[in-house]
Structure 1
Amino acid sequence: METYWALIVVVLALEVILALYKLVVGQWTYRLAVFNLNVQVVTTIVFVVIIIDPNLLNSAFTTTITDLLDFPSGWGKWLIGSSLFLVVVFAILEVFQGFRRASIKYNTK
Structure 2
Amino acid sequence: MYLNPAAAQACDSACANYIDKLIAHQRLARDLADVQGFGSLPSGVALAERFSKKAVDADGTNNLVDVLQSHIDVVMAMQAVFRKFFTDTENTDEQNASGISAQGPR
Structure with higher Rg: it is: 2
TM-score normalised by structure 1 residue count: 0.44
TM-score normalised by structure 2 residue count: 0.45
